[in-house]
Structure 1
C-alpha cells in the first residue's frame, strides 16, 4: 500500500465496501479503512475518527501519520473543510492549498523532540507536494471538477470559530481560508518524507466576512456539493496517473543535525 486519503468533515461515508485495520503505533492506536479498487489498495483515514468523535485540538496527528508510514504510504491526498476570508472564494468552492500560516497553540508539531530522535529541521519551501497538486489539476479537468483557485491556509486551534478581529488579522496577513486541522498534519507528513496535498472545501464564510451565520446544515451542504467529485479526482490520480517521488523534493525534506 502506497496511497492514502485523509478525510475531513463530511467525507466518511463514501466507501461502504471496505475492511478496517487497526495499527498500534508508539503514539496510540489508529483504525483505518482499506478499499480494494481494481487490485489497488487505497487506505482511508477518518481524521476525526468514525462518526466525527474527536475535536480538532485533540486529534492524535502523530499516531495517524505514523500509522500511515507503517502501512508503507508514500502519497497522501487530504480534504479540509475551511471557512473563507477571501471574497472570491464562496461556500461550495474547491481550492487547492499551497501554503499555510500556523496559529495553533497547544499541539505537538513534530516527531523529533531531541534525545534518541535527534535534532531534525524540516524544509517548508513546498509544504504541499507540487507533483500531487499538478496531478490533481489534471485529473480534476478530466472528471469535470471545478477548482476555483489556490489558497493560503490559516490553521487555528479550535474548536471554537474565530472572532471578527482575528479574521481581519488573518486576512491582512494574506490568508485565504481558515481551518483547524491541517497543522501539524502537513508538517508530520513532510517529516516522514511523504508527498502530501490538501484540498480545501469552503463550507462557510469566516466570521465578519459575510452577514450569514455559520450553521451546521450549510457546512454539510457545501461538503456534499463536491465531495464525490473530489474523491473521484483523488482516485483518478492514484489509479491512472504515474506518481514518482523523484519528481519532487518531499522525501528529502528532513535536515538532520
Structure 2
C-alpha cells in the first residue's frame, strides 16, 4: 500500500481518530513547511498529516510555503496525497456543508512560487497537467462516499483565487463564465507541485459558503465555521473508510 498523506485545510487543523506516533520537524531546500509532520495511524493504517495553515491556523493562503509542504511529504515517503480544501459554491448544487471532488482547476493566483523547476536545471522541464487530479484516487473517494452514504458532487472545476479576501460578486460572475463551479484559495500551486513530484493527488473540497452574489447578504465567518463543522464531520467519516483502501 502506498504511503498516504493528508493535508488539512480550514476547519481541519487536526485529525480526529488519528493515533499519533510521532511529530517530526522537517527542513527542506525550500524552507520550512507549515508545521511538524504528524505520523500516526488512522483506521489501523499508517498516514501522515500536515495542517496547511499551521496548527493554529495562522498562515494565510498566499503565505503558505506550498513547495516545502509537498517536498517534506514526499521526502518522508508519501506517494498519495489527499488534500482537504474549503471552497465557496458557485454552481447551484454546491450548497454549504456538501463535499465535492474537483476534476479540473483554473489558476487565478499571482506572485506565488509555483514550481520546483526554475533554478539549476540541465534542461527546461514541462509537466502534463491536462488532468490535474489523480483519477485513481478521485475515483476511490467517489466510491467511498457512495458506500458510506455521503452526499458529494463527483466533479467540478475549482477556481483558485489569491485571497486572503473573499471575492466580489463580479469576480464570481467572471469565474462562472470561465466555467468554474467552485472557488477556493489553496488549490494552486499545490496541485501542480504535487504533479511535479509525481504524487498521486486528489482534493476533498468542502463547501463553506455560497460564493459572493449567490446568496443573500454578506458572507460571515460565523456561518462559514458552522458549515465547515458539519462538512468536516463528513470528511472524517469519508477518510475513516477511504484510508484503508488507499
TM-score, normalised relative to structure 2 = 0.92
Name the residue aligned to 1:123: 128
Alpha carbons of structure 1 residues 53 and 180: separation in structure 2 relative to 1, 3 Å = same
Whole-angstrom CA distance in 2 between matches of 1:157 and 1:5: 22
Out of 166, 180, 199, which is 2:185 matched to?
Answer: 180
Unaligned runs of 5+ in 1: 244-257
Task: After superposing the two structures, state which structure 1 stretch, 10-19 or 138-147, moved more.
Answer: 10-19
Question: Counterparts in 2 of 1:199-238, with a 5 A limit?
Answer: 199-238=204-243
Name the residue aligned to 1:8: 9
Task: Determine if contact 1:77/1:234 at 8 Å carries over to the other structure.
Answer: no
Out of 16, 20, 24, which is 2:27 matched to?
Answer: 24
Deviating above 4 A after TM superposition, structure 1's stretches of 4 or more consecutive aligned residues are none
Deviation sequence 1:136-174 (CA, Å, 0-9, x none): 111112222111342100001111111111111111011
Shift of 1:114: 4.0
Whole-angstrom CA distance in 2 between matches of 1:85 and 1:144: 24
Deviation sequence 1:160-196 (CA, Å, 0-9, x none): 1111111111110110111100100000000000100
Alpha carbons of structure 1 residues 117 and 62: separation in structure 2 relative to 1, 3 Å = farther
Name the residue aligned to 2:141: 136
Alpha carbons of structure 1 residues 146 and 38: separation in structure 2 relative to 1, 3 Å = closer
Alpha carbons of structure 1 residues 38 and 9: separation in structure 2 relative to 1, 3 Å = closer
Alpha carbons of structure 1 residues 37 and 210: separation in structure 2 relative to 1, 3 Å = closer
Name the residue aligned to 1:112: 117
Whole-angstrom CA distance in 1 between matches of 2:156 and 2:117: 28
Name the residue aligned to 1:250: none
Unaligned runs of 5+ in 2: none
Aligned length: 241
Task: Determine if contact 1:145/1:230 at 8 Å carries over to the other structure.
Answer: no
Q: Which secondary structure does the structure 1 equivalent of 2:156 belong to?
A: strand
Deviation sequence 1:100-147 (CA, Å, 0-9, x none): 010001111100004336421111121111101111111112222111
Q: CA RMSD in A?
A: 1.7
Task: After superposing the two structures, state which structure 1 stretch, 82-91 or 171-180, moved more.
Answer: 82-91
Whole-angstrom CA distance in 2 between matches of 1:37 and 1:83: 28
Task: Determine if contact 2:43/2:240 at 8 Å carries over to the other structure.
Answer: no
Whole-angstrom CA distance in 2 between matches of 1:184 and 1:232: 27
Name the residue aligned to 2:59: 54
Alpha carbons of structure 1 residues 69 and 221: separation in structure 2 relative to 1, 3 Å = same
TM-score, normalised relative to structure 1 = 0.88
Q: Which secondary structure does the structure 1 equivalent of 2:189 belong to?
A: helix
Shift of 1:13: 3.2
Name the residue aligned to 1:247: none
